[in-house]
Amino acid sequence: MKINQATIFPLSIPLIEPIKMAKELIVDAKTVLLCLTDEEGRQGWGEASVAPLMTGETLDSLLASLKYLVEKARSIEWSDPNLFAKSSDAVLYGNPSAKSCLEMALLDLYTQKHSISLWKYLRSLNTGAVLTELTEIPLLRMIGGAPEKEMADAKSFREAGFKHWKIKIGSLSLEEDLRRVQLLSDLLEGDIISVDANGAMSLDDALHFCISPQARKLSFAEQLISADSSVNDFALLKARSPIAIGLDESIHGSAEIMELMKANALNGASLKLIKTGGVMEAWSCAQILRKNNLQLNLACKVAETSLSGAATASIGFAVGDVPWGFSMSNQYLRFDICDQPLTAQRGHLYLAQLNATGVGVTPNMDRVKDAVAQGYSIIQY
């Protein structure tokens, strides 16, 4: 499979409402789409969003890396998805988001060529294993804002069928966060309720938080302390916490999972394609978690379109179990760039939305062009 043409689209899509993280306020989604055309005229699409506090990549740096990659990609024969990452690594060090974007587009082309959906292709790689067949994946919904709004949103989305929740913490005082968590946990009792500090807590505060009676109804706590913390700190936190400990920013691939698993430092992990460098490595990570009875959360960065959502969800449908839910972030966008965007139905994403060959969704070119970020231009090779 050869690449004849590549087109890069730097996008900026406004959110329905700002999302307050522990260390940043996000008002629009800056993401990059890549369209590859192969020698037979098929088009494959990839996506990666900027995440300066997670991957270190801004819109400008992501564009620069992707431009370099696609220039090299045109001279490569892409025949085996298991070697896609190796080929990318041979021409550019690091830059997992750009590599994820390229790999997604290549996988879209590859699976279209072989007339198979991406999730079915991934599932076929796990020969000999007995996998649960999923028809739906539970979606995880973020809650944020003033306490009154948080309570109202939680009630509304619960009535709509959501049962998995993420409460953002770390930007307020420990006491304020604990009060919010208790109120929401009481309201949502019986559901899968998590908190996410994006690494903003000290180890002492994280320990205090986890042993507090106000947090006792939580199902898990995600990335309470900085990814720069020592493995011993993570192991200590897990050992002392009555709440399951999940990690996000600390996980960039299977190597980190193996290291932290050996130290007994996590109960589960959140996988994002922009961290792992693509679908194939994320799939390997999901397999490691499943085989070692660790929990899985799949997540898109806030906020990516249905394209990244479909590729990420394919891992969940292939592996057959997403106990900590799927953070499908196109639900926070003011508009999507696909004619048939992925949608929540009773708080779940249904497999029927991903049965088309390839990644499963196709962007609308007019919508993509309308979303090009101000001051940027479409790049074509």
DSSP assignment of 104-122 equals: HHHHHHHHHHTT-BHHHHH
Question: Looking at residue 328, which CATH number applies to its domain?
Answer: 3.20.20.120
Q: Any residues with CB less than 8 A from the CB of 317 and at least 6 apart, and which? A: 119, 123, 134, 137, 351, 354
CB 165 within 8 A of CB 140: yes
Q: What is the pLDDT of residue 255?
A: 96
What are φ and ψ of residue 192, in 5° steps?
-90, 105
Judge whether 269 lies within some domain: yes
Domain check: are 76 and 202 in the same one? no
Residue 190 CB-density burial (10 A; 0-12 exposed, 13-18 middle, 19+ buried)? exposed
Q: Helix, strand or coil for residue 140? A: strand
3-state secondary structure of 247: strand
Same domain, yes or no: 170 and 138: yes
3-state DSSP assignment of residue 372: strand
Task: Give pLDDT tens digits for 146-186.
Answer: 889 999 999 999 999 999 999 999 999 999 999 999 999 99
Q: Are residues 8 and 101 in the same domain?
A: yes
pLDDT over 80 at 329, yes or no:
yes
Residue with tokens 């109202």: 152
pLDDT at 127 over 80: no
Q: What is the per-residue pLDDT across 349-360, written as a single tens digit (0 to 9) for each? A: 999 999 999 999
**Banded model confidence at residue 224, pLDDT cuts 50, 70, 90:** very high
Question: Same domain for 147 and 251?
Answer: yes
Looking at the structure, tell me whether residues 182 and 232 fall in a common domain: yes
Structure tokens, 294: 């660790």
224 with 369, same domain? no
pLDDT in tens, 5-30: 999 999 999 999 887 777 777 888 99
Residue position matching structure tokens 């953002």: 168
Count the domains in the chain: 2
Q: What is the CATH number of the domain that holds 94?
A: 3.30.390.10
Confirm whether 359 is domain-assigned: no
Residue type, 228: D
Are residues 215 and 201 part of one domain? yes
Residues 66 and 176 in one domain: no
Give yes or no: residues 66 and 181 share one domain: no
Range of the domain at 77: 3-115+364-380
